[in-house]
Each structure stands twice: as structure tokens, then as C-alpha cells.
Amino acid sequence: MDKWRIRIGPAGIPLSCKGRTNKDGIVYVKKVLDLDAMEIQLIRSFEMMDDEEAEFIRNYAKENDIELHVHAPYYTNLAGDSEEVELSKFKILSSGRIANKLDAKILVIHPGFYGEKSEKETMDLIVENLKDIVSTFKKEGIKTKLGVETMGKRKVFGSLDEIIEVCKKVKEVVPVIDLGHIHARCNGCLKEREDFERIFEKVKPLKLKRYLVHVTGVLYENGNEYYHIPIKKGDMPLEPLLNLILDEKYNVTLISESPLLEHDAMYIKIMIERLIQRRTGKDKVSYKDLSGL
Ligand SMILES: [Zn+2]
């Protein structure tokens, strides 16, 4: 078994990083923030990445032990009409090719909308289209896994249960646990340790070696997300989650999706290290070294 490891990083180029390319971003994640994960966002219109930049990022990540993920464009609908599905598949496949060049672990995607369809019809369509994408990935030799994200609005497909079912039906697909979205969708249900425990218990049958987890504060009403807010301004407490991770020795990658991006990634880091200090009695600790726990 791999060594137990918590990883932390921002969803995208850090805000305080002067250069605005992903290449600048990953160097900043290492040199300034000293974090060890990054989720590259291919969300605006359709950003492509040239081979030279991709190669630099891949090598830099490898040499500096930074775990990479990629987020596909936000608007994809694998349960829409045929035109919409084709366009979504194109966006996902193009992102998959980039993710593979980067040697990224997971390509994060948004599955789709119910529209006028029943939950079951939506599920069937999404599963069918995901199988199709997975087989194209295989044909093209794309090794990056497809990660389907839990979604924060009730009219959007993607409750935790739905995402887990999708992953059971399409073996090569993994869940991306967006805690802000889960919290919004259940109208603020993530409060206590047991609430977070329930999430990991549900995902357990998928036997994942590592969990990709999105963290942010979130503003919501009636089970619908409005927008992301800084972690401290939200009402989802981090400490019970982090204590659970430390107790159960979960391999997690915590990606900050907060509007404060890297500042909240650093906030997560500080909180974990405070908990490690409390547990070990040591002054100098790092979330990258969990050996004393
Ligand atoms: Zn997302």
C-alpha cells in the first residue's frame, strides 16, 4: 500500500500569482505556497494547451511531487439532446487529451441536467454516454480517469447517491466529492463529524485508494447553491472533516475552490497542521508528513 498522504492545492492558477498561465501557476504552487496538488481549470470558453506548456507542467509536477487533476469546461450535459451530448463529448474528449498529456490523475466533469426527463432516464443516458467516452479514452490510450462531480443544485443531476451509482455502473469512472455542493444540495446538512463520515461510508464500496475532494464555503437556499464564498464565511465546519480524515487515515486530495483560492488552501493546511500539533505535541509539523500519527 502507498504511504498515507494528504495533499492540498488550489483549483486553478493562484490569485496572487502574477503570471496567468498554468505554467506560472504550478511553479507558484510549489515555490511560493509549497503545496502538492493542483486542479487545472479548462473552463473558460475552450482553452487549449500547447504541447510545450503541457510537457513543462507534466515534468514540473513529476519532479516536484505535485498531484495534477484537470477540470473540463463547466457546461456539459450528457443527458441533453443529441447535439448537446455531442458537444459535451467533444469538450470532455478534448480535455481528456490535455489531461493525459499532463499525466493528470482525474478529469473532473459535470454530468448533466434532468430537463424534462425522469431521474432514471437521466441516469441511463448519462451512464450510456459515459461508457462511450470511456471506450474512446481507451481507444486513444488516455489514462486519466473520468471523475464525475457531485452537483449543488437540485435540478442538476449529481446527488452523492446518483454519482456513486454512476460509478458502480461505469467501472472506470470515479466520484469527485464536492463538499460545498453536497452541503448546498442538502440545505446545510454537513455539520458534525457523522455527516462527513456518512459520505465516506457511502463511497467505500467503490474501494478508492484516494479521494478527490473539493472544499469551499457556499451560499445556498432551499437545496440550491448560489455561489462559493470563503471557507470562514460559510457554515460548513472544516474541523470535524479534518479530524475524521486524520482518525481514519484517509488518502485525500483537498482542492480549494473557494473565491480565496490559494488563501483558503493555506487555511486548510494551517488547520490540519494545528490538529497534528495537538495530536503529536510537536511544534514543528507538516501535513506532508503524517508518520507520527
Ligand atoms: Zn466542478
Give the distance (Å) from ligand 1 centre to CA of residue 280.
Answer: 35
Q: Summarize pLDDT for 240-255 with one digit per residue, the tens.
A: 999 999 999 999 999 9
CA 164, CA 155: separation in Å to the nearest integer?
A: 18
Residue 47 has pLDDT above 90, yes or no: no
| pTM, two decimal places | 0.97
30: burial class by Cβ within 10 Å (0-12, 13-18, 19+)? middle
Compute, in angstroms, the gap from residue 38 CA to the centroid of ligand 1: 14
Query: How far does residue 28's CA lie from ligand 1's centre (Å)?
Result: 22
Going by pLDDT thresholds of 50, 70 and 90, the confidence category of residue 226 is: very high
Task: Compute the distance from residue 234 Cα to the ligand 1 centre, in Å.
Answer: 18
Strand order in the sheet with 211-215: 6-10, 252-256, 211-215, 173-178, 145-149, 106-109, 67-71, 37-41
Whether the Cβ atoms of residue 241 and residue 225 lie closer than 8 Å to each other = no
Question: If pLDDT is split at 50, 70 and 90, which confidence band does 1 have?
Answer: low
Distance 177 CA to ligand 1 centre (A): 10
Ligand 1 geometric centre to CA of 284 (Å): 35
Instruction: Supply the pLDDT for residue 5.
Output: 97
Domains contained in the chain, CATH given? 6-280 (3.20.20.150)
Mean pLDDT of 224-240: 97
CA–centroid distance, 64 to ligand 1, in Å, is: 26
Check whether 23 has a pLDDT greater than 60. Answer: yes
Mean pLDDT in residue range 106-114? 98
- For residue range 59-95, list pLDDT tens digits in order: 999 999 999 999 999 999 999 999 999 999 999 999 9
Distance, CA 57 to ligand 1 centroid (Å)?
A: 21
Tens of pLDDT along 144-171?
Answer: 999 999 999 999 999 999 999 999 999 9
How far, in Å, from the CA of 123 to the mean position of ligand 1?
18
Distance 37 CA to ligand 1 centre (A): 16
The arithmetic mean of pLDDT across residues 119-123, rounded, is 97
| Ligand 1 center to 216 CA (angstroms) | 12
Q: How far is the CA of 278 from the centre of ligand 1 (A)?
A: 33
Percent of the chain with pLDDT over 70: 98
The whole-number pLDDT of residue 43 equals: 75
The residue-averaged pLDDT of 42-49 equals: 70
Distance CA 166, CA 161 (A): 9
